[in-house]
């Protein structure tokens, strides 16, 4: 494990500091991530509907502002965008400890959304600028593992702290979360040469040439976006609503089993990520993405089994729910290094911020589609229609990934490295 970790670490020390910032901020995120709905309803007295509206509003604002974030990153550099966004997100997260009504919660979540709208794409752009294509896939995978490790640490810590009977405990974790967002900002401030504008200035107003129309005209990237939308709609977007609802209502497991399943997901990612990075190095990226769809399909099939056997064997049903989440985590370890590496292999420096912004928007769009469609599908045929749709959609994503291979060069697909040109023979002297 130590050898694999050393191999996954980026060569440049600046990139290593950025990864440390990811870990520290993720610990703060983990402190609050599982408890926002409970905090708004059980502590601040909002109804379930209003709390859902507040959380949904955050997603809408983040999605709406993400394209602007990509444009600003390309025009001014990721540094000038990420730093103020981290500060805004810190202020917004800390202010959650003061909300007392639906209106104040909407206002504060708007501030949080403004801050978070460009952080992910900006940090991916910075990491891409500090790594070459040969190590980029490993670094993005390590970044994802550190993100999940931090969230897991934060979640276990807050689980031992928060108490709905003591509102001050929630206020404490939100203030700690706010402080955690200052950590990557402080690290970035100590790296004055990191995160500046990548592209060369063009004629006229100095803005990056092309814009989002150029990004959308990139046929391989357009195919990658379609793959991402199908996969995340039938994958990530189903975890919060579809997975939990099916496990509790159809498989009839205790909600505590769902918590164990999410813990199993985190453990799988942290333990398997470095091994997966090593195994996929030098292999086809599109092939790896196709495997992700197949793994997600297997995970949902295992969950479907839990619903079938629940009336006969509750223990087997519970084990299937936990296994589903763990298998899903294995698929995530494949997706997390390959998707951003391929995105940045297709991107140009002038438009790298927009490419990363569009890639992050995939999760926002599917996050709207997934929960809306999960409810009606779960109500049909005791959840079996939902299982069939998410399994079928994951397999369709695999086919889309395979169709992408012919649109890529060997280098973009991760199969080849640049071959040095043969030396030019020295001229002979008469």
* pLDDT tens track for 264-300: 998 999 899 999 999 999 999 999 999 999 999 999 9
By residue range, what is the domain housing residue 293? 217-408
Task: Let me know whether 178 and 247 are in one domain.
Answer: no
Tally of structural domains, the chain: 2
pLDDT band at 419 (very low <50, low <70, confident <90, very high): very low
3-state secondary structure of 163: strand
Task: Let me know whether 186 and 238 are in one domain.
Answer: no
Of the two residues 258 and 403, the one the predictor is more confident about is 403
How far is it, in rounded angstroms, from Cα 404 to Cα 234? Answer: 19
Domain membership of residue 1 (yes or no) is no
Task: Let me know whether 115 and 53 are in one domain.
Answer: yes
We report the CATH number of the domain holding residue 274 as 1.20.1250.20
The burial class, CB within 10 Å (0-12 / 13-18 / 19+), for 356 is buried
Q: How many CB atoms lie within 10 A of CB 7?
A: 14
Q: What is the mean pLDDT of the chain?
A: 88
- In this model, does residue 33 exceed pLDDT 80? no
How far is it, in rounded angstroms, from Cα 89 to Cα 112? Answer: 5
Alpha helix (H) residue ranges in 234-351? 236-238, 244-245, 255-280, 285-309, 314-346
- In this model, does residue 183 exceed pLDDT 90? yes
How far is it, in rounded angstroms, from Cα 180 to Cα 26? Answer: 8
pLDDT band at 79 (very low <50, low <70, confident <90, very high): very high
Tell me which residue of 362, 408, 370 sits closest to 121, measured CA to CA: 362
- In this model, does residue 184 exceed pLDDT 50? yes
Mean pLDDT of 45-70: 88
Domain membership of residue 200 (yes or no) is no
Domain membership of residue 297 (yes or no) is yes
On whether the CB atoms of residues 8 and 138 are closer than 8 A, the answer is: yes
Q: What is the pLDDT of residue 423?
A: 44
How far is it, in rounded angstroms, from Cα 124 to Cα 118? Answer: 10
How far is it, in rounded angstroms, from Cα 321 to Cα 351? Answer: 42
Q: What is the pLDDT of residue 263?
A: 86
> Which DSSP letter does residue 243 get?
I
How far is it, in rounded angstroms, from Cα 231 to Cα 214? Answer: 24
The model's pTM is 0.86
Task: Let me know whether 27 and 92 are in one domain.
Answer: yes
On whether the CB atoms of residues 403 and 223 are closer than 8 A, the answer is: yes
Task: Let me know whether 117 and 248 are in one domain.
Answer: no
- In this model, does residue 201 exceed pLDDT 80? no
Torsion of CA 324, 326, 332, 334, to 10 degrees: -110
Domain membership of residue 415 (yes or no) is no
Task: Let me know whether 231 and 339 are in one domain.
Answer: yes
Task: Let me know whether 278 and 357 are in one domain.
Answer: yes
pLDDT band at 200 (very low <50, low <70, confident <90, very high): low
Q: What is the pLDDT of residue 416?
A: 65
Task: Let me know whether 174 and 228 are in one domain.
Answer: no
Task: Let me know whether 91 and 174 are in one domain.
Answer: yes
Task: Let me know whether 147 and 288 are in one domain.
Answer: no
Domain membership of residue 363 (yes or no) is yes
Task: Let me know whether 132 and 239 are in one domain.
Answer: no
On whether the CB atoms of residues 242 and 383 are closer than 8 A, the answer is: no
Domain membership of residue 368 (yes or no) is yes
Percentage of the chain exceeding pLDDT 70: 93
* pLDDT tens track for 237-257: 888 678 888 888 889 888 778
Task: Let me know whether 152 and 231 are in one domain.
Answer: no
On whether the CB atoms of residues 37 and 196 are closer than 8 A, the answer is: no
Domain membership of residue 259 (yes or no) is yes
* pLDDT tens track for 299-354: 999 999 999 998 889 999 999 999 999 999 999 999 999 999 999 999 999 999 99
Domain membership of residue 71 (yes or no) is yes
């Amino acid at each position: 494990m130590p050898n694999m970790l050393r191999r996954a670490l980026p060569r440049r020390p600046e990139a290593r500091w950025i990864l440390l910032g990811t870990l520290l901020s993720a610990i703060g995120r983990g402190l609050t991530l599982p408890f926002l709905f409970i905090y708004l309803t059980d502590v601040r007295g909002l109804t379930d509907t209003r709390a859902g509206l507040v959380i949904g509003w955050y997603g809408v604002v983040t999605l709406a502002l993400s394209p602007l974030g990509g444009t600003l990153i390309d025009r001014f550099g990721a540094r000038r965008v990420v730093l103020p966004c981290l500060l805004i997100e810190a202020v917004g997260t800390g202010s959650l400890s003061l909300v007392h009504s639906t209106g104040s919660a909407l206002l504060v979540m708007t501030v949080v959304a403004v801050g978070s709208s460009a952080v992910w794409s900006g940090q991916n752009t910075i990491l891409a600028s500090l790594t070459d294509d040969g190590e980029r896939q490993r670094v993005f995978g390590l970044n994802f593992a550190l993100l999940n490790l931090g969230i897991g640490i934060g979640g276990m810590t807050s689980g031992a702290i928060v108490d709905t009977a003591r509102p001050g405990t929630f206020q404490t974790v939100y203030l700690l979360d706010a402080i955690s967002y200052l950590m990557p900002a402080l690290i970035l401030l100590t790296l004055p040469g990191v995160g500046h504008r990548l592209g060369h200035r063009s004629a006229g107003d100095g803005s990056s040439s092309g814009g989002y129309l150029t990004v959308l005209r990139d046929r391989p990237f357009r195919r990658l976006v379609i793959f991402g939308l199908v996969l995340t709609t039938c994958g990530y977007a189903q975890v919060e609503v579809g997975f939990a609802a099916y496990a509790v209502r159809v498989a009839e497991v205790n909600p505590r089993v769902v918590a164990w399943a999410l813990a199993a997901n985190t453990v799988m990612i942290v333990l398997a990520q470095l091994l997966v990075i090593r195994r996929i190095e030098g292999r086809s990226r599109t092939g790896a993405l196709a495997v992700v769809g197949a793994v997600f399909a297997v995970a949902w099939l295992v969950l479907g089994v839990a619903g079938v056997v629940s009336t006969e064997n509750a223990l087997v049903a519970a084990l299937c729910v936990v296994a589903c989440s763990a298998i899903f985590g294995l698929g995530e370890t494949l997706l997390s290094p390959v998707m951003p590496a391929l995105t940045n292999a297709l991107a140009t420096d002038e438009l790298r911020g927009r490419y990363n912004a569009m890639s992050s928007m995939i999760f926002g769009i599917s996050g709207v589609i997934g929960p809306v469609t999960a409810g009606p599908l779960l109500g049909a045929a005791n959840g079996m229609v939902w299982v069939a749709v998410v399994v079928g959609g994951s397999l369709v994503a695999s086919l889309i990934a395979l169709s992408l291979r012919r649109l890529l060069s060997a280098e973009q697909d991760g199969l080849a490295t640049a071959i040095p040109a043969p030396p030019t023979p020295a001229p002979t002297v008469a």
